[in-house]
């Protein structure tokens, strides 16, 4: 998928003053920019930290981490420790519909750019603050994704049952937080349509993670018993896990008894479906170790890709364990157009599809203090 220009975006009348850095905030503002928002990335003179997180780099020398969350934006460098630059930042905030920041609580207030200061000059501002642990007792805690995965419970349910706790392979909590920030900003803009007034939107990493724990958190609340690590197995469904075939691993994700009967038949082991130990999902969960051994004995007869083809033909959810390159190619083969090509910069497309006003990919990630930012006037037209 290449860049698209000239199409009206659903947010093309929204201006965003983006004071955020690294991942959660930039992920959110890129999502807004993809749908037309005019995003000015306000950076320190040395730039967003992720500009310096390399290798790897794109063909134009941009750190791929930075490039992954900063397309469709412009950049201005301001030193917020200087009075003149703080004054300019406040003027820019005065013309914006949205301000987003992820400094530690109190920092923007010290710069004279806190919510009340900005609202005094711009009553319609939607002011989104992203923190690690809120603005109360957790305000002084550093909001690093790894730390939140640990204290937020995710690592306790991730990894081998007999091994150490494990983190997700990407800064998942930051991404979840960025998605919540987008939702909160859009909700506040909708409310502003009714009242004419903006408001503060507060998002924190810890609550974003706790909300995403869904069934695991609900189980804990209902029983008082924290879930344990199950590796690649599911606490409530079987077989729903990683299995070894003759050559490599595959995932089988059976979600109901009908699918299990189809699985037994596809394996040439129809009697499994009527065995009292495996008849219903609750039975299979209770006898998951025995079931796993039987399934892997049968799966060893053929390569994983052959089983996946057979299972999919029978309506059984199954797939190979792809690396990231294979995953992108798989999505491309399904016609999902997963890659945005902006010349030297290649990133993953926005996952939200609107039928009448889709995302548009106009510009690559900006150079620090790029000249295009000069068009971001301090007065609204």
- CA angle (130, 135, 138) in 5-degree steps: 105
Phi, psi of 116 (to 5 degrees): -70, -35
- DSSP letters, 218-230, are HHHHHHS------
Based on the residue annotation, tell me whether 48 is a catalytic residue of this protein. Answer: no
Question: Which three-class secondary structure state does DSSP give residue 239?
Answer: coil
Contact 245, 321 (CB under 8 A): no
d(CA 141, CA 151): 12
- Cα separation of 105 and 90, whole Å? 18
Contact 19, 113 (CB under 8 A): yes
**Given 38, 174, 247, 323, the catalytic residue:** 174
Q: Which two tokens stand for residue 38?
A: 């005019």
User: What is the C-alpha separation between 255 and 30, in angstroms, rounded?
Assistant: 35
73: Cβ–Cβ under 8 A, 6 or more apart, which residues? 18, 29, 30, 33, 39, 40, 41, 363, 365, 366
| Cβ atoms 357, 1 nearer than 8 A | no
Q: Show which residues are catalytic.
A: 174
């Amino acid at each position: 998928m290449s860049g698209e220009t000239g199409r009206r975006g659903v947010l093309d009348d929204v201006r965003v003053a983006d004071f955020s850095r690294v991942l959660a905030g930039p992920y959110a503002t890129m999502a807004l920019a993809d749908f037309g928002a005019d995003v000015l990335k306000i950076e320190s003179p040395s730039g967003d930290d992720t500009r310096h997180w390399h290798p790897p780099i794109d063909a134009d020398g941009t750190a791929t981490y930075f490039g992954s969350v900063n397309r469709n934006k412009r950049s201005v460098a301001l030193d917020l420790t200087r009075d003149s630059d703080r004054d300019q930042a406040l003027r820019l905030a005065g013309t914006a519909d949205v301000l987003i920041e992820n400094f530690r609580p109190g920092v923007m207030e010290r710069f004279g750019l806190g919510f009340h200061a900005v609202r005094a000059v711009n009553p319609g501002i939607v002011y989104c603050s992203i923190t690690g642990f809120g603005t109360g007792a957790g305000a002084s805690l550093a909001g690093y994704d790894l730390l939140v995965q640990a204290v937020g419970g995710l690592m306790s349910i991730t990894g081998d049952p007999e091994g150490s706790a494990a983190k997700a392979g990407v800064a998942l909590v930051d991404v979840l937080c960025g998605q919540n920030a987008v939702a909160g900003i859009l909700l506040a803009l909708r409310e502003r349509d009714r009242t004419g007034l903006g408001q503060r939107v507060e998002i924190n990493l810890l609550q974003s993670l706790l909300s995403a724990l869904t069934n695991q958190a609900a189980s804990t609340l209902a029983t008082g018993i924290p879930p344990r690590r199950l590796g690649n197995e599911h606490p409530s469904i079987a077989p729903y896990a990683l299995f070894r075939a003759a050559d490599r691993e595959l995932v089988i994700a059976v979600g109901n008894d009908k699918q299990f009967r189809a699985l037994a038949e596809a394996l040439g082991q129809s009697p499994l479906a009527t065995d009292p130990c495996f008849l219903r999902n609750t039975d299979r969960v209770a006898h998951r170790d025995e079931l796993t051994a039987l399934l892997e004995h049968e799966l060893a007869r053929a390569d994983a890709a052959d089983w996946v083809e057979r299972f999919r033909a029978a309506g059984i959810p199954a797939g190979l364990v792809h690396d990231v390159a294979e995953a992108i190619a798989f999505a491309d083969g399904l016609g999902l157009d997963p890659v945005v090509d902006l010349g030297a910069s290649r990133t993953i497309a926005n996952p939200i599809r609107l039928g009448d006003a889709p995302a548009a990919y106009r510009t690559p990630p900006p150079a620090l203090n790029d000249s295009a930012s000069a068009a971001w006037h301090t007065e609204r037209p």
